[in-house]
Amino acid sequence: MKNIEILPRDDGFQDCGLVCAANEARFTAANYSEPLTAFTVGWKDSEKIEELLNFVAPVVPVSRRFEFKVADNSEPFLSETDDIRSIGSAFKRVEFTGTSVTSKTYNKGLTIRVDHDDVAGEDWRERYVQLLLQRLYRNELRRAISALSGGASQTYTWDSATGTPNPDADIRGELEAASNETGVRPNRIIFGEGAWDTRSDAYDHQNNAGANRAAGLSLEELARKLFVDEIRVMGARYQGESSKTAILGNNIYAFFTKNEIMKDEPANIKRFVTPVDGGSTFRVYIDEHSKFSDITVEHYSNIVITSSSGIRRLTVTNTAQ
């Protein structure tokens, strides 16, 4: 992952308005805020970063230390002819037989110092909690995309002048390659904003009925055409060293996962999360001082590639521009 921002540690002496990596030693029961923690449960992300994150890496609730199975490609295709129970006997037991891996969720969090002279309105604490939540979700989304980037990678040039002027055929070819590799067709595709624009440009430059039809397909229509469950386009950005950087860029990822997945079910990627305080994902602390307040938001998670087989990445360019 490029251009990772190294945050200063929260040493208790940071400047106001500076976001710091949270210091666990400063979390105390006296600073825990139940109302602000409850706010994180009902909060809706206006930038929809959480929605994108859950699309790429669905949540799997686990304890702090947990064990999961690395996906076995053959298991989704197992079938029984002996699933009939005899009188007095039990049904056949189904077990996941992949390799067991022990792991843990990591404590992640951010702190911001707010000068009381800079606050306005009664909801200023909630607004700063929202700022930290969006940043934590953006961090997680970058981790998830970075994890997917270890899959098989191919580079394509899409424009009407090349020998491969059919972007959707290239994507379909990568889906077929993944199916032949694992026996499971990727069911989700995510386009970087630049890659989606390049696909549109490739068809627009051809200027014929078939290309015009392909260029006008909605995401839902394209998903049906490619036999996948869902396609998303992601334009989320983060602040790099000198400019804003698109998290996905000109890349397309195809992978297999699903919502409400169990920790041992076959999938390419999962986001293991340890719930806190009655099922909440986040916990909020506020350390009040006479002239400023330190607000901290923390959570426990670990994004894991449970099977790298079948992940496909397409990096696309457009020489016609």
**What pLDDT digit, counting tens, does each position of 204-255 carry?**
888 789 889 999 999 999 999 999 999 999 988 877 666 778 888 899 999 9
290 token code pair: 């006479």
What gap in Å lies between CA 190 and CA 81, rounded to an integer? 38
136-150 pLDDT tens trace? 999 999 999 999 998
The pLDDT score that the predictor gives to residue 47 is 81
Mean pLDDT of the chain, nearest integer: 85
- Helix, strand, coil content of the chain in percent (nearest 5): 30, 30, 40
Decide the pairing of beta strands 106-115 and 100-104.
unpaired
The position carrying tokens 């998903």 is 223
Q: Is 192 helix (H, G, I), strand (E, B) or coil?
A: strand
For residue 207, the domain's CATH number is 3.90.1690.10
Count how many domains the chain has: 1
Helix axes of 219-226 and 167-182: crossing angle, nearest 10 degrees: 50
In a domain, residue 264? The reply is yes
**Does the residue 93 lie in any domain?**
no
280 contact partners, CB below 8 Å, separation of at least 6: 37, 38, 40, 41
Q: Residue 223: inside a domain, yes or no?
A: yes
Q: Is the dihedral of CA 186, 188, 191, 196 positive or negative?
A: positive
**Residue 77 falls inside a structural domain:** no
In a domain, 215, yes or no: yes
The closest of 63, 52, 65 to 237, measured between CA atoms, is: 52
* More confidently predicted of 194 and 239: 194
Confidence band of 13 (pLDDT split at 50, 70, 90): low
End-to-end CA distance of the chain: 27
For residue 85, is it within any domain? no
Would you tell me the crossing angle of helices 49-56 and 124-148 to the nearest 10 degrees? 30
- pLDDT, tens digit, 9 for 90 and up, residues 259-276: 988 888 889 999 999 998
The pTM score is 0.82
| Residues belonging to the chain | 321
Question: Residue with structure tokens 């409400």?
Answer: 260
Range of 189's domain? 19-72+98-317
In a domain, 79, yes or no: no
Domain assignment present for 80: no
Mean pLDDT of 36-54: 89
